[in-house]
Chains A and B, each alone.
Chain A
Amino acid sequence: MSGKSTSQVLQPAADSFKPLLLTYKEDLKAVVLSYLGRSVLFLITCSSVLSVLLIFLFVAREAIPFLTKVSLVEFLTSTAWYPEAYQDPEFGALAMIVGSAYVTVVALLLSAPVGILAAVFLSDIVSFRIREVVKPLIEILAAIPSVAYGFFAVLVLAPWMQKHFGFPTGTNALNASLVLSVMALPTIISVAEDSISAIGRDLREGSYSLGATRLETIFKVVIPAAHSGIIAAIVLGMMRAVGETMVVWMASGNASQIPHPWWDLSQSIRTLTATIAGDMGETAQGSDHYRALFALGLLLLVLTFLLNGLSEYFLGSKRKASGQK
């Protein structure tokens, strides 16, 4: 480059005789380089897509021999989980599917209202200076390792619940749900806060100018306008709760049963993630139990894909809505 510029300085006239078109060699070089650059970047991008696909393939490959051996109906409808029994082991995952659903739904019932209200408070009510302090603090909540939450659940929350609520066991559905709801909070708050902040000032001012109070503006204008982002925030929080392993493993009690009566959260339950994590460590590779755990993993993957699609759909409609404005 510098050599070329010095030659330009020495022979200024030579350049004007050079045709605008590149030489064949230069042209080829440029084409090859641009394709090379493109393909390298494409491969880099693909590596993450590819790893998702490979995870899916790997889990499916380990799970499918099991699913052909044991009936899918039994797997999805039986609650008897005796994978290590010597005579006819049973692989019923229903109790775990229900357990995962329990902790997720209860955690969201607790964290969604709190998270959304906190997001509204941060975006619309509190002063900028306090918000600059509070928001990073909330995000620290997401950085606490889940095993620390688990220890808290087992050593503090569980004995406390037994002592004050009179629950027979402290490691139960409510314990796991409570801790999960705290863990889902930072996700819900930050995504919801972003989408509420993205609602323009004009909308709020329009509402005020029509005589609406701040309360009316928040609940009848701002939240409805940001609803798709808020739903996406809840779905993302849901994914956090469904996929969380360490906390539910330590806090839920891991009893493979569906609570009876169904609303009794003081009973122990068992989730998909906890079962995989708890059993995988010492299961003989290639055994039915091992493959059954992969089948649980496949179930979990499919569930998360669906939830992810849902959040993408709502985040997409949020983008579309803000794009139209």
Chain B
Amino acid sequence: MPIIAVSRDTASGTYDTFHNLVMNKQRMASHVEYVSTNPQAFARVRTSRGAIGYVGYGFVQSGVKAIKLDGVMPSRETILNGTYPVSRPLFMFTNGYPELGSMIHKFATFHLTERGQEVVEDKGFVPVTNY
């Protein structure tokens, strides 16, 4: 069975992470298919026999199989303690440090609150604290 390799488009952050950490900045083969979003990559792999792809941890749902890397399964523990080799932090950017208590400050730090961390975990991503 031919293997269908599914990648994110070359301008995405997920691609950039994969390109740096997994591909070692090498080029992908020309038959690699490109999709524009993580859910689309997930759907392509779920509906196609012989397909393999990469998505953010939060997009892995039932219907596809996550695989071990260097013998390590991706999970909250292995990603947090760094034994799973492919992970990256996400940043928020503001124009200057926002005024304390302002709407921007609340928004930019929401993900660090207990409620925000719950949402992060609920969406299948890895929270940075053990709230």
Residues of chain A whose beta carbon lies under 8 Å from any beta carbon of chain B: 79-80, 82-87, 95, 154-155, 158-159, 162, 168-171, 249-250, 253-257, 267-268, 270, 278-283, 289
The verdict on B62 contacting chain A, using a C-beta distance below 8 Å, is no
Query: Which single member of A159, A168, A169, A281 contacts B11 (CB below 8 Å)?
Result: A281
Seed contacts A168-B1, A170-B47; 18 additional CB < 8 Å A-B pairs:
A80-B30, A83-B10, A84-B11, A84-B15, A84-B16, A84-B19, A85-B25, A154-B40, A168-B4, A250-B40, A254-B9, A254-B35, A255-B33, A256-B30, A267-B31, A268-B33, A282-B11, A282-B12
Chain A binding surface, main DSSP class: loop
Query: Which single member of A159, A168, A256 contacts B47 (CB below 8 Å)?
Result: A159
Query: Which residues of B have CB within 8 Å of A85?
Result: 25, 27
CB<8 Å pairs between A and B, sample of 14: A84-B16, A85-B25, A95-B30, A155-B43, A158-B48, A168-B2, A168-B4, A169-B33, A250-B40, A254-B35, A255-B33, A280-B11, A282-B13, A283-B11
The 4 closest A-B CB pairs, nearest first, are A254-B34, A282-B11, A257-B30, A168-B2
Best-buried of B2, B30, B32 by chain A (most CB within 10 Å): B30
Distance in angstroms between the alpha carbons of A304 and B47 in the assembled complex = 35
Given A168-B4, A249-B36, A257-B31, decide whether A279 and B49 contact each other with a Cβ distance below 8 A.
no
The verdict on B76 contacting chain A, using a C-beta distance below 8 Å, is no
The verdict on B50 contacting chain A, using a C-beta distance below 8 Å, is yes
**B120, chain A: closest CB distance, angstroms:** 22
Distance in angstroms between the alpha carbons of A84 and B7 in the assembled complex = 14
Best-buried of A86, A256, A281 by chain B (most CB within 10 Å): A256
B34 touches A171 (CB 8 A): no
Distance in angstroms between the alpha carbons of A281 and B34 in the assembled complex = 14
Query: Which residues of B have CB within 8 Å of A268?
Result: 31, 33
A255 touches B47 (CB 8 A): no
Distance in angstroms between the alpha carbons of A166 and B104 in the assembled complex = 53
Contact with A along B81-110 (1 / 0, CB 8 A): 000000000000000000000000000000
Query: Which residues of A have CB within 8 Å of B111?
Result: none
Query: Which residues of A have CB within 8 Å of B49?
Result: 162
Best-buried of A79, A158, A249, A278 by chain B (most CB within 10 Å): A278
Distance in angstroms between the alpha carbons of A270 and B15 in the assembled complex = 18
Distance in angstroms between the alpha carbons of A254 and B49 in the assembled complex = 18
Query: Which residues of A have CB within 8 Å of B16?
Result: 84
Closest B residue to A163 by beta carbon equals B49
Query: Which single member of A95, A169, A283, A289 contacts B4 (CB below 8 Å)?
Result: A169
**A93, chain B: closest CB distance, angstroms:** 13
Distance in angstroms between the alpha carbons of A298 and B35 in the assembled complex = 24
Query: Which residues of B have CB within 8 Å of A254?
Result: 9, 33-35
State which residues 54-86 of B face A: CB under 8 Å. Answer: none
Best-buried of A84, A159, A270 by chain B (most CB within 10 Å): A84
**A153, chain B: closest CB distance, angstroms:** 12
Given A83-B10, A279-B10, A283-B11, decide whether A158 and B47 contact each other with a Cβ distance below 8 A.
yes
Query: Which residues of A have CB within 8 Å of B12?
Result: 282
Query: Which residues of A have CB within 8 Å of B51?
Result: 169
**A192, chain B: closest CB distance, angstroms:** 35
B48 touches A162 (CB 8 A): yes
Query: Which residues of A have CB within 8 Å of B13?
Result: 282
B19 touches A171 (CB 8 A): no
Distance in angstroms between the alpha carbons of A169 and B47 in the assembled complex = 10
**B38, chain A: closest CB distance, angstroms:** 13
Distance in angstroms between the alpha carbons of A35 and B12 in the assembled complex = 54
Closest A residue to B36 by beta carbon equals A278
**B129, chain A: closest CB distance, angstroms:** 29
Distance in angstroms between the alpha carbons of A255 and B9 in the assembled complex = 10
B48 touches A255 (CB 8 A): no
Distance in angstroms between the alpha carbons of A135 and B27 in the assembled complex = 50
Query: Which single member of A79, A84, A159, A171 contacts B30 (CB below 8 Å)?
Result: A79
Query: Which residues of B have CB within 8 Å of A169?
Result: 4, 33, 48, 51
Distance in angstroms between the alpha carbons of A154 and B6 in the assembled complex = 14
